[in-house]
C-alpha cells in the first residue's frame, strides 16, 4: 500500500511539475487574492480542509490553530529552552499558596485596529467559552478557576467567575485550589483574548469578517474566502512589530496531503506541513525536506454506551489483537507504534527524557490472550459479535489506517468492522455528539504537560465523548494537579495512564508520528512550538 501511494504521488508531482515548467506559479493568480505588491515579503502555507472558526471561544479545530499561531498573543508561553516568553503580559506574580495569579499586561499593546488590549478582552473569551452552547472543547481547562466548572454546568452565574480586571492592564485569577501547571494552560485558546468591541456570541460571524476579526499578534486577518484560503497581513500596531519580517502569510485549504505536496511542487505554496511519509523518499537529501517530532497520539475512542464496547474484556481484546508494527509498516515511515496515550515524544521536564519512558508500557499485544478474552465475553472466535462501524476522516493516513485495522481485526479476531469515511468537520461533529461505535481520534499536545492527555478522559472532560466515568481515575488526576513534588506527581500521572489504558482500556492507542514537511530553503526563522511540535511562522523571513 505504501509503495503504491509513493508511485501515485511521484507521478502526480512529475505531472504537475511538467505542466508548470521550471518557474514558480504566481501565487496570487486566479485565486481571488490581491495582486502582490513589489518587494512584498509573503509566504503561502498549505493547510488541511477548513474546519471550525477563528473564535477562541468557539469550536477549536485545524483552521483556528493555523490562524492563531500567527495572529493571537497569549499572556505568556515557554520557549524551546523551557524559559518563559512574555507576550501579551509583561510580568506576573503569584501568592504564597499559588491560588491567586496576577498578570500585568503590556500598556502599549493594541489590537490591529488601534483599540487597546485590556484585561476585559481576556475575560470576554473565558466567559463565552463557559457557555456550553459555544461548543468549545477546551472549556474544562478553565476549571481550575474558581466557579468555572459550576458556571459551565449552569450552577453559577458568569459574574462569579474567579477572574477580574483590577484595571485595564491588570488581570487577576483566583483558583479553586493550587494548580501546578497553571502557566502551561495560558497558551490555550480559552485563555486567549477576544476584543470586546467586536467578539460577541459564538457563530455570529465576527471571527471571519476582516472588519471585526482584529488581532493582537504579529498578523491580522485581511481576507477570508471559505473553502479556499485566508490571508494574514503584518500588524503594524503589534508591540514587537520590528521583529516581524514578513508582510503577508496566506493559508490555502487543501482536501488532502497529496494535493498539498503537488501544490508545493508547482510553486503554489511555500510550506506544506504534515505530508505523507512517501514524500520523504522523493525529497531525500534535499534541503526542502524537514522532519520534525509531533507531540501527538493517534488512537481510537470505543463508545462505552455501545454494546459490546461497554465490556472491558472486549476493549482489551481489541487492543491486544492489533499488530501495531504491521500497521505502521503499512501506513508509513512517519509513524511509530505506541501503547501509550501520552505522546511518545512529550518530554519530562525533570529528566529531560521522554515522559512515557518513566514507567512500564500499559500493556503488551497478545493475540492468544485477546482471543481468550473475546471468548470469555461470549464471542468465541468472534461468533455472534455485532458489526461495529468505525468513523474516521477521509484523509490518506486515516484511510490507510482504517483499512489495515479492518483487515487485522477480521483476520485476528474474526470481528467485522464497517468503515465510514467522513469529511473532517463531520467527523468532529459526530464524535462530539457521541454518534459513533468506534471513532478515530488524534490529540496533539496543547501544552507541555501530560495533563493535556489525561484530562481528555476525565468524567467532566469536554473532550470525553465516549462515556467514561471513572471516579478512581478522576481522583488520581486530581491528586496530580496539586502535587508539587515533580517525582510524586509523575508517579500519579503514570498510575492514571495505567488505569485508563492498561486496565480499563478506555482508548485504543495506535501510533505516534513524525511530521514530514516541505519548506522552501530560502525561508528562514520558522520554529517549532515546544508544547506541540507544530511549526510557527511569526518571526520567519525570506533570505535575500
pLDDT in tens, 175-193: 999 999 999 999 999 999 9
At 532 the pLDDT is 86
Report the candidate in 213, 60, 72 with the shortest Cα–Cα distance to residue 137.
60
C-alpha cell at 537: 511562522
Report the candidate in 63, 59, 85 with the shortest Cα–Cα distance to residue 74.
85
Chain centroid to CA 420: 22
Question: 215-242, pLDDT tens digit by residue?
Answer: 999 999 999 999 999 999 999 999 999 9
3-state secondary structure of 331: helix
Distance separating alpha carbons of residues 317 and 533, to the nearest angstrom: 33
The pTM for the full model equals 0.81
At 37 the pLDDT is 60
Q: What are the φ/ψ torsions at residue 540 (nearest 5 degrees)?
A: -70, 160
Distance separating alpha carbons of residues 127 and 148, to the nearest angstrom: 9
Whole-angstrom distance between the N-terminal and C-terminal Cα of the chain?
Answer: 42
Cβ neighbours for 176, distance < 8 A, ≥ 6 positions apart:
99, 143, 144, 145, 146, 147, 148, 162
Task: Output the DSSP codes for 378-414.
Answer: T-GGGTTPPPEEEEEES-HHHHHHHHHHHHHHHHHH-
For residue 110, the surrounding DSSP H or E stretch is none
Do the beta carbons of residue 288 and residue 41 sit within 8 Å?
Answer: no
At 424 the pLDDT is 84
Which residues of the chain carry a pLDDT beneath 70? 1-38
- DSSP 3-state helix, strand, coil percentages of the chain (rounded to 5)? 35, 20, 45
Q: What is the largest CA-CA distance in the chain?
A: 72
Helices and strands (H and E) in the chain: how many: 15, 21
C-alpha cell at 477: 488526576
CB contact burial 469-498 (16+ within 10 A = b; e otherwise): ebeebbebbeebbebeeeeebbbbbbbbbb
Do the beta carbons of residue 492 and residue 480 sit within 8 Å?
Answer: yes
Report the candidate in 520, 523, 525 with the shortest Cα–Cα distance to residue 539.
525
Q: What are the φ/ψ torsions at residue 124 (nearest 5 degrees)?
A: -55, -45
Report the candidate in 477, 512, 474, 527 with the shortest Cα–Cα distance to residue 180.
477
C-alpha cell at 325: 508494527
3-state secondary structure of 156: coil
The one-character DSSP state at 502 is I
Report the alpha-carbon angle 496-497-498, nearest 5. Answer: 90
Distance separating alpha carbons of residues 270 and 276, to the nearest angstrom: 17
CA dihedral 85, 89, 93, 95 (to 10 degrees): -110
Amino acid at each position: 500500500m505504501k509503495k503504491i501511494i509513493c508511485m501515485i504521488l511521484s507521478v502526480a508531482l512529475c505531472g504537475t511539475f511538467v505542466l508548470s515548467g521550471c518557474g514558480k506559479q504566481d501565487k496570487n493568480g486566479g485565486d481571488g487574492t490581491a495582486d502582490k505588491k513589489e518587494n512584498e515579503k509573503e509566504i503561502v502555507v498549505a493547510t488541511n480542509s477548513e474546519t471550525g472558526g477563528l473564535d477562541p471561544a468557539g469550536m477549536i479545530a485545524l483552521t483556528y490553530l493555523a490562524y492563531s499561531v500567527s495572529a493571537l498573543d497569549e499572556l505568556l508561553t515557554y520557549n524551546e529552552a523551557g524559559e518563559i516568553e512574555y507576550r501579551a503580559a509583561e510580568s506576573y506574580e503569584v501568592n504564597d499558596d499559588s491560588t491567586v495569579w496576577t498578570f500585568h499586561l503590556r500598556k502599549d499593546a493594541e489590537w490591529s485596529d488601534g483599540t487597546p488590549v485590556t484585561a476585559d478582552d481576556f475575560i470576554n473569551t473565558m466567559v463565552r467559552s463557559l457557555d456550553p452552547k459555544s461548543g468549545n472543547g477546551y472549556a474544562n481547562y478553565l476549571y481550575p478557576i474558581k466557579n468555572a466548572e459550576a458556571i459551565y454546568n449552569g450552577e453559577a452565574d458568569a459574574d462569579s467567575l474567579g477572574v477580574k480586571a483590577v484595571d485595564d492592564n491588570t488581570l487577576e485569577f483566583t483558583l479553586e485550589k493550587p494548580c501546578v501547571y497553571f502557566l502551561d494552560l495560558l497558551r490555550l485558546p480559552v485563555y486567549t483574548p477576544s476584543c470586546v468591541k467586536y467578539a460577541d456570541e459564538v457563530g455570529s460571524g465576527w471571527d471571519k469578517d476582516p472588519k471585526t476579526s482584529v488581532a493582537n499578534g504579529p498578523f491580522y486577518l485581511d481576507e477570508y474566502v471559505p473553502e479556499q484560503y485566508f490571508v494574514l497581513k503584518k500588524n503594524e500596531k503589534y508591540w514587537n512589530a520590528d521583529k516581524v519580517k514578513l508582510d503577508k502569510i496566506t493559508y490555502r485549504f487543501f482536501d488532502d496531503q497529496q494535493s498539498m505536496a503537488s501544490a508545493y511542487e508547482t510553486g503554489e505554496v511555500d510550506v506544506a506541513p504534515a505530508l505523507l511519509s512517501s514524500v520523504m523518499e522523493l525529497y531525500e537529501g534535499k534541503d526542502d525536506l524537514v522532519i520534525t517530532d509531533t507531540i501527538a497520539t493517534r488512537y481510537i475512542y470505543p463508545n462505552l454506551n455501545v454494546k459490546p464496547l461497554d465490556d472491558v474484556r472486549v476493549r482489551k481484546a481489541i487492543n491486544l489483537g492489533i499488530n501495531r508494527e504491521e500497521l505502521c509498516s503499512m501506513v508509513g515511515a512517519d509513524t511509530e507504534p505506541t501503547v501509550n496515550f501520552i505522546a511518545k515524544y512529550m518530554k519530562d521536564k525533570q529528566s529531560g527524557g521522554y515522559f512515557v519512558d518513566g514507567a512500564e508500557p500499559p500493556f503488551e499485544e497478545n493475540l492468544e490472550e485477546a482471543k481468550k478474552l473475546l471468548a470469555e465475553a461470549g464471542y468465541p472466535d468472534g461468533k455472534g459479535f455485532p458489526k461495529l462501524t468505525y468513523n474516521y476522516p477521509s484523509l490518506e493516513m486515516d484511510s490507510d489506517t482504517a483499512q489495515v485495522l479492518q483487515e487485522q481485526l477480521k483476520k485476528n479476531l474474526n470481528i467485522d468492522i464497517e468503515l465510514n469515511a467522513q469529511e473532517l468537520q463531520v467527523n468532529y461533529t459526530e464524535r462530539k455528539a457521541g454518534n459513533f461505535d468506534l471513532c478515530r481520534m488524534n490529540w496533539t499536545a496543547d501544552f507541555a504537560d501530560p495533563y493535556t492527555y489525561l484530562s481528555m478522559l476525565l468524567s467532566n472532560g469536554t473532550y470525553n465523548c465516549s462515556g467514561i466515568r471513572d471516579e478512581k481515575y478522576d481522583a488520581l488526576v486530581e491528586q496530580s494537579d496539586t502535587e508539587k513534588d515533580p517525582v510524586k506527581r509523575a508517579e500519579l500521572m503514570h498510575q492514571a495512564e495505567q488505569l485508563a489504558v492498561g486496565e480499563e482500556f478506555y482508548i485504543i492507542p495506535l501510533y505516534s508520528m513524525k511530521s514530514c514537511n516541505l519548506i522552501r530553503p530560502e525561508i528562514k526563522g520558522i520554529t517549532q512550538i515546544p508544547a506541540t511540535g507544530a511549526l510557527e511562522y511569526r518571526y520567519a523571513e525570506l533570505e535575500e
